[in-house]
């Protein structure tokens, strides 16, 4: 049983998908949460207020642009200013762009690397002194199966996710004697808006239905034929925040339906 009452969690990219499921799961265990991301203002406010109502915690929204160092660090600083501390950091924000290496646009490369590798670095850099001051912390980086293996036409995404696992290991080593842990989670296909775009692209490219495109996407890589659920990832993060996970440090935990077992 994980009790996070009084803890403060910052979850990036949490206005939908995996991040929102993580925010809800941590709030259900008593943590006050800071959600972050882009989207319709009314929808975000609805989610924010619903978390407070459903779980009896404080929930703040911060729309900081995480593609910049100033934006990322302002998210942590604002959380500390409002909540007094940050105990849990979940680096989840991400985007995707596909193209062959020789055609990959530089602006897309720079944006993906900034958002999905540099931003977690900046956030960790800002939050570690806060966690050290309070003597406790949990950092979870949402990597991907693509942090362990590659797929074609995803150079920036694969590079960022591989790098994020390396950052996880270094952070874990540098906090190994403290009550601060850092781990990564590597999901396979998760049915998020980001993945739905890929399903739609396959359907359009091959002239097939959405259901057929979904099956094609899954069966090419994920032997289980089932999506990893955001709620399953959230449950893993809750466990990593528990005292039972105190010696789980610097690992890349896979939830991929057998993808990397092949």
Q: Which spans in 92-144 are helix H?
A: 106-113, 119-134
| Coil/strand/helix, residue 60 | strand
Instruction: Provide CB contacts within 8 A for 46, sequence distance 6+.
Output: none
**Residues across the chain:** 262
Q: Is 61 a catalytic residue?
A: no
**The pair of three-digit structure tokens given for residue 204, joined into one six-digit string:** 């359009």
Pairwise CA distance, residues 149 & 177, whole Å? 31
Pairwise CA distance, residues 42 & 35, whole Å? 14
Q: Of residues 157, 189, 253, 259, which has the active-site annotation?
A: 157
Q: What is the DSSP letter of 12?
A: S
Instruction: Provide CB contacts within 8 A for 71, sequence distance 6+.
Output: 64, 65
Our measurement of the distance from residue 33's CA atom to the centroid of its chain's CA atoms, rounded to an integer in Å, reads 14
Pairwise CA distance, residues 233 & 211, whole Å? 24
Write out the catalytic residue numbers.
157
């Amino acid at each position: 049983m994980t009790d996070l009452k009084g803890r403060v969690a910052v979850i990036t990219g949490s206005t939908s998908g995996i991040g929102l499921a993580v925010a809800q799961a941590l709030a259900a265990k008593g943590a006050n949460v800071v959600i972050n991301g882009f989207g319709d203002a009314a929808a975000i406010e609805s989610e924010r207020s619903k978390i407070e109502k459903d779980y009896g915690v404080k929930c703040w929204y911060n729309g900081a642009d995480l593609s910049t160092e100033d934006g990322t660090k302002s998210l942590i600083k604002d959380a500390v200013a409002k909540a007094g501390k940050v105990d849990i950091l979940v680096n989840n924000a991400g985007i995707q762009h596909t193209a062959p290496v020789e055609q990959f646009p530089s602006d897309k490369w720079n944006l993906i690397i900034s958002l999905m590798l540099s931003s977690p670095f900046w956030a960790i850099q800002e939050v570690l002194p806060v966690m050290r001051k309070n003597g406790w912390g949990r950092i979870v980086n949402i990597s991907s199966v693509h942090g362990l293996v590659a797929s074609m036409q995803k150079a920036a995404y694969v590079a960022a996710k591989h790098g994020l696992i390396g950052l996880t290991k270094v952070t874990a080593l540098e906090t190994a004697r403290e009550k601060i842990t850092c781990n990564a989670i590597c999901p396979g296909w998760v049915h998020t808006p980001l993945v739905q775009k890929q399903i739609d692209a396959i359907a359009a490219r091959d002239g097939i239905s959405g259901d057929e495109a979904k099956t094609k996407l899954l069966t090419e890589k994920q032997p289980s034929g089932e999506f990893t659920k955001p709620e399953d990832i959230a449950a893993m993060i809750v466990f990593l925040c528990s005292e039972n996970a105190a010696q789980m440090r610097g690992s890349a935990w896979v939830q991929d339906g057998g993808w990397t077992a092949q």
